[in-house]
């Protein structure tokens, strides 16, 4: 089965968001999907739109930039810089939503594997609570429930 | 930095870690103030101050029992916060569901180095 778990989002402190999810795959594959441009294009937008551009310069100090055309017809872009890279285990990078350029966050991805399954966590550290709250608000772009139903159908048809 | 008053709404009220601790403690059932003082290891006036904020935004209710004031969580007023996080969670869930499909594909391609035979 493809469905391995549920994304769990918690707010450990006023300025953080923690996302946790388990995958039925070894960590090097999750890392590969997370860092390879042509693979990022296939999952990063979820059901919110299409990823139109992915740039990844995977080295400390290197930049990344993702652009998505949202279903509603507007473009959103994010960029950042890699700060720490431990292949298959840990990736620290900055993240800026270009619609809100003051709100730079620091994202820490960690991957831990047990029995061929990988637990992924992303800790998003914002500079202040206002930025964090705005970030969460951005998840509210319409029609999520319908999109979920559509996703399920797509996933089934791909198998 | 200026920020909204803590009593403005439930979101502001739970932004304070101590108040989240109080809500956690009350999640298991109602408790008198003294219990909370012991659990949190704070002075009673501080605990009372936090409880007052929580009460003002409707996150907790209080009742008198003899000389004790017993507090409990008001689940309904937590719902806006739950809903707020849930929508964000959903957009990540969508990404991850796509990632699942992709990983299945990658696993299929990687079978050659795992000693699997056709």
A82 and B CB contact within 8 Å: no
Domains of chain A and CATH, by start = 8-158 (3.30.530.20)
Tens digits of residue pLDDT in B34-56: 999 999 999 999 999 999 999 99
The pLDDT value given to residue B81: 78
ipTM of the complex: 0.73
The answer to whether the CB of B94 falls within 8 A of the CB of B54 is: no
Question: Is 60 exceeded by the pLDDT of residue A154?
Answer: no
Considering CB atoms only, which of B84, B92, B99 is closest to A19?
B92
The answer to whether the CB of B5 falls within 8 A of the CB of B56 is: no
The pTM is what? 0.71
| CA distance, residue B63 to nearest chain A CA (Å) | 30
The pLDDT value given to residue A141: 42
Closest by Cα among A142, A129, A141, A140 to A11: A129
Rounded CA gap, B57 and A6, in Å?
31
Considering CB atoms only, which of A7, A39, A46 is closest to B102?
A39
Question: Is 70 exceeded by the pLDDT of residue B77?
Answer: yes
Which positions in chain B have a beta carbon within 8 angstroms of at least one beta carbon in chain A?
1, 3, 11, 15, 17, 84-85, 87-104, 106-107, 110
The pLDDT value given to residue A151: 36
Higher pLDDT, B7 or A143: B7
Instruction: Say how far residue A100 (Cα) sits from the centre of its chain.
Output: 17
């Amino acid at each position: 089965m493809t469905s391995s778990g549920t994304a769990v989002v918690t707010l450990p402190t006023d300025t953080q968001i923690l996302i946790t999810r388990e995958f039925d795959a070894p960590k090097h594959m999750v890392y590969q999907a997370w860092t390879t441009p042509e693979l990022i294009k296939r999952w990063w937008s979820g059901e919110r739109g299409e990823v139109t551009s992915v740039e990844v310069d995977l080295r400390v100090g290197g930049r990344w930039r993702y652009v998505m055309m949202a279903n509603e017809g507007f473009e959103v872009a994010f960029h950042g810089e890699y700060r720490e890279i431990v292949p298959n285990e840990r990736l620290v990078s900055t993240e800026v939503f270009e619609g809100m350029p003051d709100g730079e966050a620091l994202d820490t991805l960690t991957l831990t594997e047990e029995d061929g399954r990988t637990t992924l966590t992303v800790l998003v550290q914002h500079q202040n609570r206002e930025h964090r709250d705005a970030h969460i608000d951005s998840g509210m772009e319409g029609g999520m429930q319908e999109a979920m139903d559509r996703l399920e159908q797509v996933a089934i048809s791909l198998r | 930095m200026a920020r909204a008053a803590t009593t403005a709404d439930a979101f502001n009220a739970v932004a304070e870690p101590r108040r989240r601790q109080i809500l956690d403690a009350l999640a298991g059932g109602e408790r008198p103030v003294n219990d909370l003082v012991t659990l949190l290891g704070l002075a009673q006036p501080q605990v009372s101050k936090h409880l007052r904020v929580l009460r003002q935004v409707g996150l907790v209710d209080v009742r008198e029992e003899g000389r004790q004031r017993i507090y409990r969580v008001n689940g309904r007023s937590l719902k806006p916060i739950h809903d707020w996080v849930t929508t964000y969670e959903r957009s990540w869930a969508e990404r991850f569901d796509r990632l699942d499909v992709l990983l299945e594909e990658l696993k299929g391609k990687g079978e050659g180095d795992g000693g699997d035979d056709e």
